[in-house]
Structure 1
Amino acid sequence: MYQDTLAVSQDLLFQINSVGFVHLRHSVCQRMLRKAMTFSRNYSFKNRLLSKIKTLKSRPERMKRLQGNVYLLTFKNHPPLILKGFTSREKWYRQQVLTFLLKQIGFDRTYSMYSEPEPFRLDGMWYSFIEFLPPSANKFNFANESNRIEGAQLLEAFHNSADQISLPSLPVYNQLNKWRDRLALFRQNASYIREHIPESILEEWIAWAEWSLKGLETYQKEIDQEADTIIHGDCAHHNFLRKEDGTLALIDFDLIAKAPRMIDYLQYANRILPHLDDPSKEVWKYPQIAAYKKNPAFLYALAYPSDIFREWNLLFKTRFRLDHVWKITVEDFEKRMELNKQLAQLVSK
């Protein structure tokens, strides 16, 4: 089937080029050709992927790509499974051990990662099977206050359990270096960003980022003094899964690292800021975040516009969701400045 589609697209492109149709038609056919070629690659990849999982007792009836290298496999006489690709066997192994030990301790609000069948390699990725958690129609989101509270509580429960686990060869998380790189990339993309937002607002965000990084560097010891744990490292809303039975689960441990739990709460705070009506007051309602209200390193870090830089840097590559990035950068500017002024007052005390 895909060979036919590819042949038709190539033939159309040839005819259009030869008779000199308008550029718009030419672009349409180019898109058709790209889609056909993508279909061809995906069809071939799925066939090879299916050939690798013959060890399963039941052949999948359907294989649906959810995102990236993550697939949902459904069977006739077997519960669904997630098939996920990892960049290395070591990365898979760390996550498999972590989820196993979490369950052993009693933290069951995540999935199981299976060691059987053995992970296999395909196109440079290591694929393995993960328990499928049936999702609720009522999805978790940061716009909902009760969801935000529950998410912070789940993150705390994860840290309390992770404190009891030791994993070898965990990467050490360095927030300062990560944010320096993010600011540098934002500066590189500034000419594009200036096309969409006022210069004064752009410069203000950069100034606060520089203030934040300088303070973080000065008070790095305040971060180092907190005991290390295993942090999740990616506290985005899509990594909190509302299960069918209503319970909330934590998923996707690709970015686990060795660091103080403060780093996760800082990231969580930054993720929820765009959803707060009055961040200078509401952000301290969460006990996990309020615990750091007198910590100068946390206060300086909270002023760093991580979400704004991340979204603009992503937008520069994808040209996707400009309305969302505009909102958090321009429409929410005043309320975020109120928070930053409060943070500056707190660190000066």
Structure 2
Amino acid sequence: MKINSRGDDDSVYRLLALLQNKLPYPVKDLKRIRKQVYLVVTDYAWLILKEFPSYKKLKIQEAFTNSLHYEGFHATYRFFSFEQDPIIIDNRIYGCIEYIPGSLKPFSYMDKDSRNEALSLMGHYYNCTERLVDTYRYILPDFDIFEKWSERGNQFKLNLPVAAQFLKGDILQELNGWIDWSLYHLERERDNIKNQKKVILHGDVAHHNFHRGLNGELYLIDFDLISIGPKSMDYLQYANRILPLIGWSHHQLQKISLLQPFLNERSFLIGLAFPTDVLREWNRIIRQNKLHNELARNHVVELTEQQFSKRRKFVQKMMKLADRFQ
């Protein structure tokens, strides 16, 4: 029996002891992958052991992934369910997830074909989750992009004195202008967004939540942020993730067939102008008190300044296009 861990070995050993009692087969190896996520190796199967914020959220994700498979979406994992009490160590609740062997070449948004493959998988996911909205209507929260981005924008404004130590004043001024313009117009689109057809949103379509399996298939993982809302909200996040990779080119964005219908929606154009990625990273690094870390600080400064002139032209174009719908 091997244990590969970092940090609190005592909690790992207690976790192992509990696993030995819970699982119907002996544990051969327990390896910490990242904070509160472990790889569990047995003769029968490999599992991922992951911490969840509450028992309720664990059970929701167990039920939801089962529902996905039932509806025909098999490009994700299942949970290993325990008949008795869940795994709880130090008031932390863990769930056991099916391990999907990964490819030697991880998924990346850098590759155009991979970006298109991710979009296709998202489309299949929404086709299935559209049928699940009524089932989860009173279980999952409704997604409100205006509320989320207002909070993010307000927090960034509170952090301005700190960010001003590392960014030029004209950049901060433009960011502030984009925040105010986007939120002002997005608030007026709330009813239109609310009336769009609903699906169960994934909520975090970052590249690390697409998993390339050893079999070459693409999987969608990590449903921590699922909510109910129009699929345009996930596609908006997807667009924001890939725009730096296509040089903030509206023309390149228009070439993506699955995004074309949304590029004719005013709310989508407004959302594209909001600097959500920059605000997210500045708020995070300041909240985690990591500005003293040169590598982390350089990353967020580079994210903000790199391609800023291209981003400015893109945002100005989104503003003009959105104004045409008024």
Normalized against structure 2, the TM-score is what?
0.90
Match of residue 244, structure 1, among 214, 227, 242: 214
Q: How far apart, in 2, do the equivalents of 1:303 and 1:315 lie?
A: 22
Give the one of 54, 57, 76 matched to 1:110.
76
Letter in 2 for 1:103: H
Which residue pairs with 1:154 in the alignment?
Answer: 121
Question: Amino acid of the residue matched to residue 238 of structure 2?
Answer: Y
Match of 1:59 in 2: 26
Aligned to 2:62: 96
Q: Is the partner of 1:72 in helix, strand or coil?
A: strand
Stretch deviating more after TM superposition (117-126 or 104-113): 117-126
Aligned to 1:293: 263
Partners of 2:22 and 2:82 within 8 A in 1: no
- Could you say what secondary structure the match of 1:222 adopts? helix
Alignment partner, residue 198 of structure 2: 228
Q: Whole-Å Cα distance in 1 between the matches of residues 110 and 297 of structure 2?
A: 19
Map 1:41-190 onto structure 2 (within 5 A).
42-53=8-19, 54-75=21-42, 77-116=43-82, 118=84, 119-165=86-132, 166-167=135-136, 168-190=138-160
- Corresponding residue SS for 1:270: helix
- Number of the residue aligned with 2:3: none
How far has the Cα of 1:326 moved from its partner?
2.3
Aligned partner (choices 162, 165, 189) of residue 219 of structure 1: 189
Stretch deviating more after TM superposition (129-138 or 44-53): 44-53
SS in 2 for 1:273: helix
Helix, strand or coil: the match of 1:171? Answer: coil
Q: Give the unaligned 5+ runs of structure 1.
A: 1-37
C-alpha separation in 2, matches of 1:83 and 1:117: 17
* Partners of 1:111 and 1:251 within 8 A in 2: yes
% identity of equivalent residues: 33
Amino acid at match of 1:217: E
**Alpha-carbon distance between aligned partners in 2 of 1:216 and 1:65, rounded to the nearest angstrom:** 42
1:261 CA drift (Å)? 0.8
For 1:124 and 1:273, the matched residues in 2 are separated by 41
CA distance in 2, matches of 1:238, 1:117: 31
Q: CA deviation at 1:117?
A: 5.3
> Which deviates the most, 164-173 or 203-212?
164-173
For residues 136-164 of structure 1, give each alpha carbon's deviation from its aligned partner in whole angstroms, at most 9, with x where no partner exists: 01111111111111111111110111011
Residue pair 1:152, 1:286 contacting (<8 A) in 2 also: no
Tell me which residue corresponds to 1:344. Answer: 319
SS at structure 1 position matched to 2:27: coil
Larger radius of gyration between Structure 1 and Structure 2 = 1
Give per-residue Cα distances to partners, 1:196-235, cap 9 Å, x unaligned: 1111001101110110011100111221121111100111
Shift of 1:300: 0.7
Distance in 1, matches of 2:302 and 2:261, equals 29
One-letter amino acid of the structure 2 residue matched with residue 153 of structure 1: S
